Structure 1
Amino acid sequence: MDIDSETLASPAGISSLDEDLMERLRSITTSNREDLIAQFRATTNAMLTDEGCRFFLEMSNWNLNEAILAYYDAEMPTDKLPQMRFIADVTVGEGEAIPPSTRFVKTWRIENSGSERWPNSCSLRFVNGDRLQDRDEIYVNALAPGEQTNISVNIASPNASRIIRSQWRLFTPAGVPFGEYIRLKIDLRSSVHILIINV
């Protein structure tokens, strides 16, 4: 690589060279592009095709963080995020026993705790932990401020001697999470119990 000696001799020239190098290094990634697409989709929960994910990544020079920010800017430039508050367990409450290898319906009651109506097609999604349900996404009604609704998930308790955990969260139609987490904990070490912890 040929570098002008006058540029190297000048502190301003060195600074300019360093900035250019750092900019190029920031845009270089050793990750596989298919992996970046998968990471982008997992992080944003975007309901996009591979081409849609690729658009944001290419626009951001395959920088995952910048692509995620660009996606959120495009999907919700000025929208205020909805608010959600956990109200109660409707079925299978804290301390209630469930036998192993049993199918049951777990229902939670939630509330729109914000000042604006939720958009249509918001959904409760499984986001982490042990997968115990048939469906990972349950659509919810577009609640008005202060309005409540029940959300139900079909669950099968596993046959295992350990603690089982899963985590759920509400998402906007654009794939942006909002509201409190809903955590489901099943202790199978002695007898089966359901414990709901909301943070």
Structure 2
Amino acid sequence: MNEPEKISPEVAEALKWYKEAQVMYAQGRSLDALARYEEAYRVFVEHGCHREAANAAEKMGDLYFNRGNFEKALKPYKIALDICEEYEDELGTAILSEKIVYVYKELRQPEKALPYLYRALEIAEKYKDAHRAARMLAGIGDVYRNLGKLEAAREAYALAARIYREIGSREQAQLAEEALKRLLQEMGPGEASADHPDK
């Protein structure tokens, strides 16, 4: 049996800070928690503790997001996402992609969310996570609708509704179907698709 890897005193200290930050956050001391996470993150990066660095960066993003500082949340989320991608942590990648989608939604920059929606969708399909796949498709439908690409939006909504129905999520299926119905009314009978060259 392998001996557990001996961790340096600095990393042990940073792990302690990480735990302290979680307690501070739970107590509503979000600025103190943020400072602690930042200190821990720096040590983790210096010592090549990738998973811990990704976790600390994600927590920093969560804190900024919950404080309504969406611009600032993006950087730590993207750092954590890059680490997950590099070390092939696909579940982490899917979760962080989704968090970045929410940031862009709050920033009202939905078109920037598309690559992250598609990345999370790809992972959801690979692991047969129907719920996440349907959620990403509904998000893709929303973005395309905002961009005026109505045909692409229609396909995404229809697929999301079908998946939700198949997995028995009636409420969500209904929401996707309502979005689809509204979209079809916007498109009107026989409207050329928004991607059509004549548009």
Q: In which range does the TM-score fall when normalised by the shorter chain?
A: under 0.3
Structure with more of its chain in helix, by fraction: 2
Based on CA coordinates, which of the two structures has the bigger radius of gyration?
1
TM-score, structure 1 normalization: 0.25
Structure with more of its chain in strand, by fraction: 1
TM-score, structure 2 normalization: 0.25
Higher RCO (C-alpha under 8 Å, 6+ residues apart): 1
